[in-house]
Amino acid sequence: MRYAAIFLLPLALAACNENTSPGADREAQVAAAPAPSERASAAEALDGIATEAISVETMTDADIAALGEAAGDCRIVLTEVAFPSLAYEPGERATIKLNGRLITMPATGPRAYSEGGLEVLLRPVEGEGDAGLPLEEMIVILPGAEDELGYRGYRQCLAEGGV
């Protein structure tokens, strides 16, 4: 009887390669492409939300595509393999994702962006990551918040061979 189980096991496992779905079982469905996040002003996106509950979110490919040219040539990523948390055109505009919404802000300085009391400041940091991306700090100042939010990540720009 033991030997029968040994001979039947390969036959049972042979059926495992018959799955034609891209998921883990025959009923697996292909997930729909994610829809881009809604675009909003800082005031709309942050209205009624406690500043302590807000954090920077990562953008999806759909978010970046929906921004079009407004996405700019540069990104701030929190890890070298992450989706961007900030998309910007240096000295022109930046878009950040907060509370599930994309907020585009005009430049208020060479490395500063602001709209409706929301401010984002970028500061280069000496050093680079394992993949050669330069370090960058992103400081987010929310309207009415007692403290600023600081993130250390990496800068990717087309001119630098990234994005």
Q: Is residue 19 domain-resident?
A: no
Q: Which tops the pLDDT comparison, 74 or 54?
A: 74
The residue-averaged pLDDT of 11-25 equals 51
Q: Is residue 29 domain-resident?
A: no
User: Any long-range contacts for 60-63 (C-beta under 8 Å, 24+ apart)?
Assistant: 60/34, 60/36, 61/34, 62/33, 62/34, 62/35, 62/36, 62/37, 63/36, 63/37, 63/97, 63/102
Q: Which tops the pLDDT comparison, 32 or 155?
A: 155
Q: Which tops the pLDDT comparison, 94 or 69?
A: 94
pTM of the model: 0.77
Total number of domains in the chain = 1
Q: Is residue 26 domain-resident?
A: no
Residue 118 structural domain: 38-157
